[in-house]
Chain A
Amino acid sequence: MLTDVRPIVSTLRRHRLTATLLVLQIALTCAIVCNAVFLIGDRVSWMLTPSGIAEGDLMRIIVSDIGPRRDLHARVEADLAALRAIPGAQAVTVGNSLPFGGNAWNSGLKLDRSQQSPSATVAMFYGESLVETLGTRLVGGRLFRPQEYAWVDDLVAGKATSSHVAMMTSDLANRLFPGESAIGKEVFVGGEPVRVVGVLERLPAARVGAREDVNNTLMMPWRMVPAYGGGYFVRARHGEAAHVLKDAVAALKRVEPRRVIVEARLYSDIRGRYFANDRAMTVLLAAVSVALLVVTALGIVGLASFWVAQRRRQIGVRRALGASRTAILRYFQTENFLLASMGIALGMALAYGINVLLMRQYELPRLPWTYLPVGAIVLWGLGQAAVLAPALRAASVPPVVATRG
């Protein structure tokens, strides 16, 4: 394939402007597509962040009760009893937050009461039997004991005292206590001392600021009530979530017909909404990349077709002088390979330049070098595919064209 390189380079030098334009187009496509694919990969990997909960079986129903806030605990107990009675409902509770649920409760966490600024900002999760309902995994220590739970409204009103225990995720534990167990350690949340009794595998925050803090979460034994920002979390038996959601809404309405159902969604829907912007950006980037690749492919087809038409007699002469059809096909493929290679080399440098700019302007991560060879292979492949039809047309030029034009 490379036997034709010198004459091809010599020919390209004589068509410098057209060759340069195509090389620039390939370079720009390479640079943009490499970065776009990287950004797509980054977004997709973010969207696939594991939550560690039973996503397919969970749902959230938020209600707003009309009338005076009396008998809050009795009403919650009645609601929970009604939800538990639904065929297919496996576990129910009232909780404040769901991973990627949107409504975040954050608090500053200090390792020492006298610290000026917190060691971490943590997302707080409250709710009785929340671990069991969500289906997240305990990897160290223990769950909360029944006597450790207190009603949130009682805590706010000062009618109850916190049991001062908490569970945290292994990510947060490793960050706060690297190389040692977090179990039994004391931290300060809202100025109050809290002892870590359990470590959870993961529990992403409801709304994430920096991605590396996604699992900076802490769980405390508070019984939530809807009036204080809680929602009913129901975990259905596998495959029964859709009908359990309908039945749950009906059951809650039966308990209190005048209440307003503010939200009733499957967790998949909640999570989908959280990542809607990322998904839209991914689709947009993919569309731009595909459009660029198509335009580049068309550019290659156009230029190759023009050159084949322009060199028709020359191809006939080559055939007359002994070039086989394969040799002609190879000539155009090699020519495209060389142009693509020049474009790719320039494009790689440009890709890094764009990446550095994005890193500075938008705090994006560095483009891993592995994207470059992948981008190169894609563009080489695209070039070869695009040049195939014109090259086959060139190969079909008969040798007699040398004498008859």
Chain B
Amino acid sequence: MLKMTHLAKVYRTEVVETYALRDFNIDVKEGEFVAVTGPSGSGKTTFLTIAGLLETFTGGHYHLDGVEVSQLDDNARSRIRNEKIGFIFQAFNLIPDLNVFDNVEVPLRYRGMKAAERKQRIMDALERVGLASRAKHYPAELSGGQQQRVAIARALAGSPRLLLADEPTGNLDTQMARGVMELLEEIHREGATIVMVTHDPELAARAQRNVHVIDGQVVDLAEEPRFHAHAHTAHS
């Protein structure tokens, strides 16, 4: 489903080159729930933005659903984002001027879908996250957990092949975070492919597979002493 080979991302300024990702390799199979972990600045968010076609990369290869994406123009990348990828952001990223219904509708409008089908999908997605009764509410009228559920509904409404979640519980309290996590697990059980970036080992432990990123590279956890120490502290 998602395969990166020797992928590199370099940020260049006039005086310095910074490798955000270097010889980055990952292969996520269809139906997998993968957690990408790592310390701040390790490159996990850069990985997510490239995986979601929000950014281009400097070198290497990236196949998404069998398509090499490096040569695609902006329109094609937009279309793939719209049709194949669902995003869940840490800050929810709902549009404050639109109500819940209209927020979930945003990606569907860019697909040129008929109004009746849009409405059906929106209501199904809102039912799915338990917020059908809040369709006319504005984001500011909802709790953080509810806002993230709307964001999940927005990601689900387009029936994406891949769900990318960037610290989906980072802005939520424990109880709300648990609810959102249970929802993601449920969605995964129903067959969705999920890649979740998190720095929280507890959340990562609930994924099927963990990928650890340090200094822009995927590392083998067994060979990484810092991780052992950190994991030990976290579980003690």
Q: Which of B74, B106, B158 contacts A324 (CB 8 A)?
A: B74
CB contacts (< 8 Å) of B97 on chain A: these are: 10-11, 14-15
Query: Does the CB pair B81–A4 fall under 8 Å?
Result: no
Q: Is A84 an interface residue (CB 8 A)?
A: no
Q: List which B68-113 residues lie within 8 A (CB) of chain A.
A: 74-75, 78-79, 81-83, 87, 89, 91, 93, 95-99, 102, 105-107, 109-112
CB contacts (< 8 Å) of B55 on chain A: these are: 398-400
Q: Is B22 an interface residue (CB 8 A)?
A: no
Q: Is B154 an interface residue (CB 8 A)?
A: yes
Q: Is A376 an interface residue (CB 8 A)?
A: no
Q: Is B49 an interface residue (CB 8 A)?
A: yes
Q: Given the interface contacts A14-B97, A320-B87, A321-B106, does A400 sit within 8 Å of B111 by beta carbon? A: no
Q: Is B52 an interface residue (CB 8 A)?
A: yes
Interface centre among A320, A324, A398 (most CB of B within 10 A): A320
Q: Is B10 an interface residue (CB 8 A)?
A: no
Cα-based distance from A171 to B93 in the complex (angstroms):
75
CB contacts (< 8 Å) of A285 on chain B: these are: none
Q: List which B117-148 residues lie within 8 A (CB) of chain A.
A: none
CB contacts (< 8 Å) of B78 on chain A: these are: 319, 322-325, 327, 399
Question: Which bucket holds chain B's interface residue count?
Answer: 20 to 34
Stretch of A139-147, A190-198, A297-305, A310-318 with 4 or more beta carbons under 8 angstroms from chain B: A310-318
CB contacts (< 8 Å) of A322 on chain B: these are: 78-79, 81-83, 107, 110-111, 158
CB contacts (< 8 Å) of B166 on chain A: these are: 403
Q: Is B213 an interface residue (CB 8 A)?
A: no
Q: Is A47 an interface residue (CB 8 A)?
A: no
Query: Does the CB pair A321–B54 fall under 8 Å?
Result: no
* Minimal Cβ-Cβ distance residue in B for A405: B91
Q: Which of B81, B95, B105, B112 contacts A314 (CB 8 A)?
A: B95
Q: Is A3 an interface residue (CB 8 A)?
A: yes
CB contacts (< 8 Å) of A403 on chain B: these are: 45, 48-49, 54, 89, 166
Query: Does the CB pair A402–B102 fall under 8 Å?
Result: no
Cα-based distance from A272 to B53 in the complex (angstroms):
68
CB contacts (< 8 Å) of B106 on chain A: these are: 7, 317-318, 321
Interface string of B147-161 (1 = CB under 8 A from A): 000000010001000
Q: List which A388-405 residues lie within 8 A (CB) of chain B.
A: 398-400, 402-405
CB contacts (< 8 Å) of A313 on chain B: these are: 93
Q: Given the interface contacts A7-B98, A11-B97, A403-B166, does A320 sit within 8 Å of B81 by beta carbon? A: yes
Cα-based distance from A398 to B81 in the complex (angstroms):
13
CB contacts (< 8 Å) of B74 on chain A: these are: 324-325
Cα-based distance from A3 to B112 in the complex (angstroms):
9
Instruction: Quote the shortest CB–CB distance from A262 to chain B (angstroms).
Output: 74
Cα-based distance from A10 to B105 in the complex (angstroms):
13
CB contacts (< 8 Å) of B49 on chain A: these are: 400, 403-404
Query: Does the CB pair A321–B89 fall under 8 Å?
Result: no
Instruction: Quote the shortest CB–CB distance from B171 to chain A (angstroms).
Output: 13
CB contacts (< 8 Å) of B87 on chain A: these are: 320-321, 402
* Minimal Cβ-Cβ distance residue in B for A8: B97
Interface centre among A14, A314, A323, A399 (most CB of B within 10 A): A399
* Minimal Cβ-Cβ distance residue in B for A325: B74
Query: Does the CB pair A321–B110 fall under 8 Å?
Result: yes
CB contacts (< 8 Å) of B45 on chain A: these are: 403-404
Q: Given the interface contacts A3-B109, A327-B110, A402-B87, does A320 sit within 8 Å of B54 by beta carbon? A: yes
Instruction: Quote the shortest CB–CB distance from B138 to chain A (angstroms).
Output: 8
Instruction: Quote the shortest CB–CB distance from A21 to chain B (angstroms).
Output: 18
CB contacts (< 8 Å) of B99 on chain A: these are: 10
Query: Does the CB pair B107–A321 fall under 8 Å?
Result: yes
Interface centre among B45, B53, B106, B158 (most CB of A within 10 A): B106
Query: Does the CB pair B98–A10 fall under 8 Å?
Result: yes
Q: List which A312-345 residues lie within 8 A (CB) of chain B.
A: 313-314, 317-327
Q: Which of B89, B96, B107 contacts A402 (CB 8 A)?
A: B89
Cα-based distance from A6 to B54 in the complex (angstroms):
27
Cα-based distance from A14 to B166 in the complex (angstroms):
29
CB contacts (< 8 Å) of A325 on chain B: these are: 74-75, 78
Instruction: Quote the shortest CB–CB distance from B52 to chain A (angstroms).
Output: 7
CB contacts (< 8 Å) of A318 on chain B: these are: 95, 106, 110
Instruction: Quote the shortest CB–CB distance from A186 to chain B (angstroms).
Output: 80
* Minimal Cβ-Cβ distance residue in A for B79: A322
Interface string of B38-78 (1 = CB under 8 A from A): 00000001001100111100000000000000000011001
* Minimal Cβ-Cβ distance residue in A for B87: A320
Q: List which A344-386 residues lie within 8 A (CB) of chain B.
A: none
Cα-based distance from A4 to B109 in the complex (angstroms):
8
Cα-based distance from A267 to B60 in the complex (angstroms):
82
Instruction: Quote the shortest CB–CB distance from B96 to chain A (angstroms).
Output: 8
Query: Does the CB pair A321–B48 fall under 8 Å?
Result: no
CB contacts (< 8 Å) of B81 on chain A: these are: 320-322, 399
Instruction: Quote the shortest CB–CB distance from B205 to chain A (angstroms).
Output: 24
* Minimal Cβ-Cβ distance residue in B for A323: B110
Please name 5 further chain A to chain B contacts, defined as beta carbons within 8 Å, in addition to the given A321-B82, A402-B54, sorted by A numbering: A3-B112, A4-B109, A14-B96, A321-B107, A324-B110
13 residue pairs from A and B, CB less than 8 Å apart: A7-B98, A7-B102, A317-B95, A318-B110, A321-B82, A322-B111, A322-B158, A327-B78, A399-B81, A400-B54, A400-B55, A402-B93, A403-B48
The 10 closest A-B pairs by CB, nearest first: A322-B82, A11-B97, A321-B107, A322-B110, A324-B78, A400-B54, A399-B54, A14-B97, A317-B93, A400-B55
